[in-house]
């Protein structure tokens, strides 16, 4: 087996040629693991130049995509070997990785909408708290409104966790996690101030 590494703008390419044996696939697996550990999470495995591969090697090659996903990477495979390729031609590789990024952007957009809605309610609640201090508004009404806000936070956090479980990692925007933390801290502070939650 001959192996060549090419650094592209959106992904790293591992070009393999000549014969592939089971021990060679283990070398590829180790290489993929090392690339992902270094932050190169999008990898193209180009097997077009492979001349022969025995059945054991083919079985191992077929497991590389799931292996890569298990360590939070994305593997596109070009090959003429039946049952191995997950990308038909090199022109489709960019689309393969772009689809992943579009999914991430959609997730972030949905979280942004929910975050903005919660921020608006938080602002309104702060105004009512200030008004309560000067006009002595009914605390029961405030507590009822705060309870609704707390329920919305719980629903938002549940939604975030559900999305994160889908593990669209690879270059996943860190803002998703940061916004989750910001939402939680902000609302907890408001609820503590109002007396609904005990001050830690």
Q: What is the pLDDT of residue 34?
A: 94
Residue 13: enclosing H or E segment and its boundaries? strand 12-20
d(CA 146, CA 117): 15
Mean pLDDT of 9-38: 92
Domain 2-88 class in CATH: alpha beta
- In DSSP notation, 16-59 reads EEEEE-HHHHHHHHHHHHHHHHTT--EEEEEEEEEEEE-HHHHH
With both helix axes pointing from N to C terminus, report the angle between 175-194 and 93-135 in degrees, rounded to the nearest 10: 10
* Domain spans, the chain: 2-88, 100-194
d(CA 79, CA 29): 16
Mean pLDDT of 24-53: 92
Which residues, 6 or more positions from 25, have their beta carbon under 8 angstroms from its beta carbon? 57, 60, 61, 64
pLDDT band at 191 (very low <50, low <70, confident <90, very high): low
Mean pLDDT of 153-161: 70
Strand partners, 76: 44
User: Higher confidence at residue 153 or residue 24?
Assistant: 24
Mean pLDDT of 63-80: 92
Chain CA centroid to CA 5, Å: 26
Q: What is the pLDDT of residue 52?
A: 87
Secondary structure of 102-161 as H, E, C letters: HHHHHHHHHHHHHHHHHHHHHHHHHHHHHHHHHHCCCHHHHHHHHHHHHHHHHHHHHHHH
Per DSSP, 175 falls in state H
Residue 107 has pLDDT above 80, yes or no: no
Mean pLDDT of 44-71: 92
Q: How many residues does the chain have?
A: 200
User: Higher confidence at residue 46 or residue 197?
Assistant: 46
Task: Write the pLDDT tens digit of every residue in 124-144.
Answer: 777 776 665 555 555 555 556
Q: What percent of the chain has pLDDT over 90?
A: 28
């Amino acid at each position: 087996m001959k192996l060549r590494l090419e650094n592209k703008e959106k992904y790293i390419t591992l070009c393999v040629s000549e014969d592939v044996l089971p021990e060679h696939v283990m070398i590829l697996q180790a290489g993929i693991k090392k690339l992902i550990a270094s932050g190169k999470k999008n990898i193209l495995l180009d097997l077009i130049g492979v001349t022969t591969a025995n059945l054991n090697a083919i079985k191992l090659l077929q497991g590389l995509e799931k292996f890569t996903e298990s360590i939070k990477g994305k593997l596109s495979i070009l090959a003429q070997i039946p049952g191995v390729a997950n990308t038909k031609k090199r022109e489709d590789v960019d689309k393969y990785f772009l689809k992943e990024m579009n999914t991430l952007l959609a997730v972030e957009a949905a979280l942004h909408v929910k975050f903005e809605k919660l921020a608006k309610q938080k602002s309104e609640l702060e105004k009512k708290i200030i008004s309560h201090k000067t006009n002595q508004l009914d605390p029961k009404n405030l507590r009822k409104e705060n309870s609704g806000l707390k329920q919305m936070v719980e629903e938002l956090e549940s939604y975030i966790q559900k999305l994160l479980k889908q593990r669209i990692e690879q270059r996943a925007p860190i803002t998703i996690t940061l916004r989750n933390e910001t939402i939680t801290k902000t609302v907890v502070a408001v609820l503590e101030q109002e007396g609904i939650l005990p001050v830690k």
